Structure 1
Amino acid sequence: MIRALVADDSAVAREVVKDGIKLLGSKRYFDVTIAENGQQALNILQSKPVDIAFVDVNMPGASGPEVVAAMQQTQSKGCTSVVMSSSLNARVESVLKEFGAYHFLQKPFRAENVAEIISSYITMNECYPVLIVDDSATMRKLTRKILETSRFDFEISEADSAETALLAIKTGKFRMVITDFNMPGADGLELAGSIRELSSKIAIYMMSTNDTTYLERSAAFIGIDGFLKKPFNAGDIDALMHKLLGLDDPRFGKVRDVFSFLERERLKTGS
């Protein structure tokens, strides 16, 4: 069950959001709660957990940004928040981003726009088995913590070498591998090549402190899906997953290139 909140003082906007939720009714059961002002929305968030909230920016009682900011102190701390308005100024956008808002629906919008965001939410909450490969136990622990704070749901396993990783990958369990480049024995590039011999469907991302065009080009040639330049955070993971799964980039999320050399070449050519 997905617990949804629709908070807007406009009855028309509330109905459009509810219609969008109904479009996904065959995929999930939704428990929808309505709030007609900001204070009602806050009371609901404090009284019960909410999974996804559609919140109008301009409401009596409490504004949308105030509701999103207060959300972290309620039972709905992990709620995915989508704000709605005809426009956003830079100050409001900055506040919403600071407090973890996910996406923006520009009014007037259609039920299909709501359904697309909910579909992305459902995809984010599917379980993705991922293997972290690094000879450093500290780095594996740090990467695990970053994955656990992502918007996506991961089933996390670890390997301390390319050899151990390949044994695990041969089980066919994993959707994604995050591997360090610098490892004793076989390095990240060699591991990626071996994975590609086994499967073209496993997403491979390489962690490295290096930022060289040569390394990135070699990795791209082998067929890895992108780079994670250390240090990285949950926002970088979210951005990679949105690209991997073909999801619309959220308004308040990070947007990053999976290979920075491609971006550098675009800047050079002006294309």
Structure 2
Amino acid sequence: MASSKTILIADDSATFRSYVRDVLQASQHRVECLDACNGLEALDVLGSRPVDIVVLDLMMPELSGEETLARLHKTGRRQFLVATSSAITNETRETLSAFGAYEFLPKPVEPEKLVGILGFFDVIKRRRRALVVDDSATVRSVVRRVLGHSLFEFDIDEAADGASAIELALASRYDIIFLDVNMPGIGGLETARTLLGRTWNTVIVMMSRSADADLVARVRETGVGAFLKKPFYGRDVDSILHSLLGLKHPTLVKETALFAETRP
């Protein structure tokens, strides 16, 4: 059974807070529910103890949900957050996405959608082993930092060339490998071909600064899971992993094509 989750329900309506609490506690998930009736109270709770999921109303007195998320974003923390409101503008939706909110649920919120969020959380927060392969130590450091901004959680190893990557990947179980296309010695495409079919259910994501149609076609032909053009960001990692894991894309995570190419 999954471990207990701490849920912060931030809404100025006691009726809505009670509704969310009743729905979540009646599910098969083990939850502890905390209350906040405005954004300031929510920030106080988040500053005082770990919280797994925040259900945040956008229209609250003293400090709105959008303002609360903006302050939280400034701290650099990536919080698994679900926004709620009776209505939302496209501008607000863009702001929520930029600030890292995971999903928006319109009120009245359907019980199955609330419970479904807990299931998504369990899948997303399962720690995964990742291998970052690039001949540039700087790029490896940048990719490591990008993965740290993803909603998914990784234990990360590094390799500086194809030969080292093959040795590590065949000796260990990695969930995902981020593999640079252009490396001296054994290149990324050859490394990918060597590893595919010989590793334990490992997803390979190729990386390159170039994304011309010919390169993307050659990458696709290897059978890898996806291709990302450098630079990419935590939200791009979130999007492709939703696709590769067969998860429904939340409305606030913009969908990144698995094999995007640069058009001439």
TM-score, length-scaled by structure 1: 0.86
The residue type paired with residue 69 of structure 1 is A
CA 1:3 to 1:199, structure 2 compared with 1: closer, same or farther past 3 Å? same
Are the equivalent residues in 2 in contact too, given 1:206–1:228 (CA < 8 A)? yes
Length, aligned pairs only: 260
What is the DSSP-based 3-state SS (H/G/I as helix, E as strand, rest coil) of the residue aligned with 2:197?
helix
Are the equivalent residues in 1 in contact too, given 2:39–2:62 (CA < 8 A)? yes
Measure how far apart 1:23 and its partner are: 5.6
CA 1:131 to 1:2, structure 2 compared with 1: closer, same or farther past 3 Å? same
Taking the aligned partners of 1:168 and 1:42, their CA distance within structure 2 comes to 42
TM-score, length-scaled by structure 2: 0.88
CA 1:18 to 1:206, structure 2 compared with 1: closer, same or farther past 3 Å? same
What is the DSSP-based 3-state SS (H/G/I as helix, E as strand, rest coil) of the residue aligned with 2:21?
helix
CA 1:23 to 1:215, structure 2 compared with 1: closer, same or farther past 3 Å? farther
Taking the aligned partners of 2:244 and 2:10, their CA distance within structure 1 comes to 31
Unaligned 5+ segments in structure 1 are 265-271
Aligned to 1:10, which of 13, 28, 40?
Answer: 13
Measure how far apart 1:206 and its partner are: 0.5
What per-residue deviation string (whole Å, max 9, x for no partner) do you get for residues 201-254 of structure 1? 210111111212222222222210111101111111111111122222233323
Taking the aligned partners of 2:123 and 2:87, their CA distance within structure 1 comes to 27
Taking the aligned partners of 2:113 and 2:234, their CA distance within structure 1 comes to 26
Measure how far apart 1:200 and its partner are: 7.2
Taking the aligned partners of 1:180 and 1:42, their CA distance within structure 2 comes to 40
Are the equivalent residues in 1 in contact too, given 2:84–2:105 (CA < 8 A)? yes
The residue type paired with residue 100 of structure 2 is G
- RMSD of aligned residue pairs (Cα, Å): 2.4
What per-residue deviation string (whole Å, max 9, x for no partner) do you get for residues 2-43 of structure 1? 2211122334432442244236544xx422102234443344
What is the DSSP-based 3-state SS (H/G/I as helix, E as strand, rest coil) of the residue aligned with 1:129?
strand
Unaligned 5+ segments in structure 2 are none
Taking the aligned partners of 1:116 and 1:130, their CA distance within structure 2 comes to 26
What per-residue deviation string (whole Å, max 9, x for no partner) do you get for residues 89-126 of structure 1? 13333432343222100112222101222221222211
The residue type paired with residue 171 of structure 2 is T
Taking the aligned partners of 1:94 and 1:258, their CA distance within structure 2 comes to 22
Taking the aligned partners of 1:2 and 1:237, their CA distance within structure 2 comes to 24
| Range moving further from structure 2, 31-40 or 79-88 | 31-40
Are the equivalent residues in 2 in contact too, given 1:45–1:71 (CA < 8 A)? no
Query: Where does residue 47 of structure 1 map in the other structure?
Result: 48
Are the equivalent residues in 2 in contact too, given 1:131–1:176 (CA < 8 A)? yes
Are the equivalent residues in 2 in contact too, given 1:19–1:111 (CA < 8 A)? no
The residue type paired with residue 45 of structure 1 is L
| Range moving further from structure 2, 35-44 or 132-141 | 35-44
Query: Where does residue 69 of structure 2 map in the other structure?
Result: 68
The residue type paired with residue 106 of structure 1 is P
Taking the aligned partners of 1:42 and 1:162, their CA distance within structure 2 comes to 46
Query: Where does residue 162 of structure 1 map in the other structure?
Result: 162
Taking the aligned partners of 2:90 and 2:138, their CA distance within structure 1 comes to 39
What is the DSSP-based 3-state SS (H/G/I as helix, E as strand, rest coil) of the residue aligned with 1:224?
coil
Query: Where does residue 181 of structure 1 map in the other structure?
Result: 181
Measure how far apart 1:156 and its partner are: 0.4
What is the DSSP-based 3-state SS (H/G/I as helix, E as strand, rest coil) of the residue aligned with 1:260?
coil
Query: Where does residue 21 of structure 1 map in the other structure?
Result: 24
Taking the aligned partners of 1:24 and 1:157, their CA distance within structure 2 comes to 37
Query: Where does residue 268 of structure 1 map in the other structure?
Result: none
CA 1:44 to 1:195, structure 2 compared with 1: closer, same or farther past 3 Å? same
Query: Where does residue 149 of structure 2 map in the other structure?
Result: 149
Report 1:48-197 matches (<5 A).
48-72=49-73, 77-197=77-197
